Amino acid sequence: MNVFVLCTGRSGSTSFIKACQHISNYSASHETLSNSCGDKRFDFPKNHIEADNRLSWQLGQLNEKFGKNAFYVHLKRNSKSVAKSYSKRFLLPKSMIYAYANGIKKLPPESLNPNERYEVCLDYVETVNANIKYFLEDKPHKIEIDLEDIKPKFESFWKTIKAQGNLNLALSEFDHKHNKSSSKTVHWRYSLKHLWLKFLMILRS
């Protein structure tokens, strides 16, 4: 059986896959086919665990390909914490939140102040979680896991999918932070673009 970890991102999916890589009867990876199109986007091997927050925008196709024959994990984290984490990488090139603000909401990211950016981040989190919740309504094989209660929930997940391997090593992965956000990662070009847009707004006022 294939396993899909659906989430908003910034919710522990990297750590989750690190833990799953201690399972011997499943392969596990993170965002491996996110840049693929068509059938190749869902060409995962059998008995594979995949975490990819971008799948929340392709749930219709995921349903057509795997439907009720897969096991689904809705990996969640406190919405405000996720929004705060995304705020730190709001202007990063190719980031999900930049694409959401600019492409979906039609809000130029560089023109938003910090409070407005946070509101967009929170809107993104609530939208994605609602999409996943709706998608999972008719799925028989699923589990909801909160990052704040990750270890006991992961043990339940382990038992449910009949995982084999080293559970203790798997649980130890949650003692380390993976893929941590930092406000220092904002690309200098986007900071410069933000200053330029503010300058233009001042000239127009």
pLDDT in tens, the chain (205 residues): 999 999 999 999 999 999 999 999 999 999 999 999 999 999 999 999 999 999 999 999 999 999 999 999 999 999 999 999 999 999 887 899 999 999 999 999 988 999 999 999 999 999 999 999 999 999 999 999 999 999 999 999 999 999 999 999 999 999 987 555 544 545 555 555 556 655 655 666 6
CA 196/CA 61 separation, integer angstroms: 40
In the numeric block, the tokens 């391997």 are attached to: 165
**Which CATH class, in words, describes the domain spanning 3-204?**
alpha beta
CA atoms within 13 A on the CB side of 136: 20
Please report, for the chain, the start and end positions of each structural domain, with discontinuous segments joined by +: 3-204
Q: What are the residues facing 4 on neighbouring strands?
A: 50, 72
Stated pTM of the model: 0.87
CA 154/CA 147 separation, integer angstroms: 10
